């Protein structure tokens, strides 16, 4: 692992690091904010998964999460959204290829060689973090925006007991029935739609739900509502009698202005779950 940068922020340190990844077959970059409390011992960790076209930088710079995490004594990890670099497959469509890993393990050519973001985010990167930094493995929570909200929800429901809480900002809620999902799953996972269900938050909610608190925020003026399908997740939560909060925020769009407006709520929500 190599240090790209480390900057003092809110009494803690915002770092950016690169490392060689076995999962993706190339170098990966991530951001990690450690609050001042990490100087005294391991601290809880909140994962933030970003959306289409984003890198580790977008939420790290725009979401404003460090201030609230510093107050709560929580670390923040900002992974990248896909493998990158020379030799990594790409596509002219911004919703496929580099910047659009969809947090799945691709099985189809040419994507299978590098696009194993599920393994990277759920296994390889956590092992690296908990070995290298003062983080409490038993105290994790996860959130994300758009494609990252999809990733946060599906990962949280797939690893019972790992995450104390999950939240999402404008998540892709029903990708197996959306233009943000069907083309990508077909390319990454192949034509057998039975393999797609494990990566659809609405289907997972109906099947197994989440064993902790959930918070979802969605803007009513989001220009991508037809692709996000928030109603599918809301209906699935109701059908599963899942405890949680689903908020439609009047007038907000899909941008980081929306994310930063409610970031304080989300960090406090996770802090309550992580710190009791």
Residue 21 appears among annotated catalytic residues: no
Give me the catalytic one of 56, 114, 150, 254: 254
Give me the catalytic one of 21, 23, 82, 146: 146
Residue 202 appears among annotated catalytic residues: no
Spatial separation of the C-alpha atoms in residues 68 and 82, rounded to whole Å: 27
Parallel/antiparallel/unpaired status of strands 12-21 and 26-34: antiparallel
- HSE (CB half, 13 Å, CA atoms) of 166? 27
Please return the burial class of 25, using the count of CB atoms within 10 Å of its CB with bins 0-12, 13-18 and 19+.
middle
Residue 254 appears among annotated catalytic residues: yes
Spatial separation of the C-alpha atoms in residues 189 and 173, rounded to whole Å: 18
Spatial separation of the C-alpha atoms in residues 73 and 249, rounded to whole Å: 28
SS3 237: helix
Q: Indicate the Cα dihedral angle 249, 222, 271, 53, nearest 10°.
A: -170
Interhelix angle 65-72/256-275, rounded to 10 degrees, is: 10
| Cβ pair 83, 101 in contact under 8 A | yes
Give me the catalytic one of 165, 222, 266, 270: 222
Q: List, by residue number, the catalytic residues.
A: 146, 222, 254
């Amino acid at each position: 692992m190599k240090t790209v940068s480390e900057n003092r922020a809110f009494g803690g340190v915002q770092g950016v690091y690169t490392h060689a990844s076995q999962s993706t077959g190339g170098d990966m970059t991530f951001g990690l904010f450690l609050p001042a409390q990490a100087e005294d011992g391991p601290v809880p960790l909140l994962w933030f998964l970003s959306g289409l076209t984003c890198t580790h930088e977008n939420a790290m710079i725009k979401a404003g999460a460090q201030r609230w995490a510093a107050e709560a004594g929580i670390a923040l990890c900002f992974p990248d959204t896909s493998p990158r670099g020379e030799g990594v497959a790409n596509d002219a469509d911004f919703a496929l290829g580099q910047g659009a890993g969809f947090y799945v393990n691709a099985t189809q050519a040419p994507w299978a060689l590098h696009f194993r973001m599920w393994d990277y985010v759920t296994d390889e990167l956590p092992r690296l973090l908990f070995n290298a930094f003062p983080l409490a493995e038993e105290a994790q929570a996860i959130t994300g925006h758009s494609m990252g909200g999809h990733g946060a929800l599906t990962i949280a429901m797939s690893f019972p007991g790992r995450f104390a809480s999950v939240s999402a900002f404008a998540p892709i809620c029903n990708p197996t029935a959306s233009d943000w999902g069907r083309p990508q799953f077909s390319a990454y996972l192949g034509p057998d739609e039975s393999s797609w269900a494990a990566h659809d938050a609405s289907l997972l909610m109906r099947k197994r739900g989440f064993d902790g608190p959930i918070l979802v925020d969605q803007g009513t003026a989001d220009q991508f509502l037809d692709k996000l399908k928030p109603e599918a997740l809301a209906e699935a939560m109701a059908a599963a009698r899942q405890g949680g909060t689903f908020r439609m925020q009047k007038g907000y769009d899909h941008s980081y202005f929306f994310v930063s407006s409610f970031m304080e709520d989300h960090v406090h929500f996770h802090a309550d779950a992580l710190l009791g």
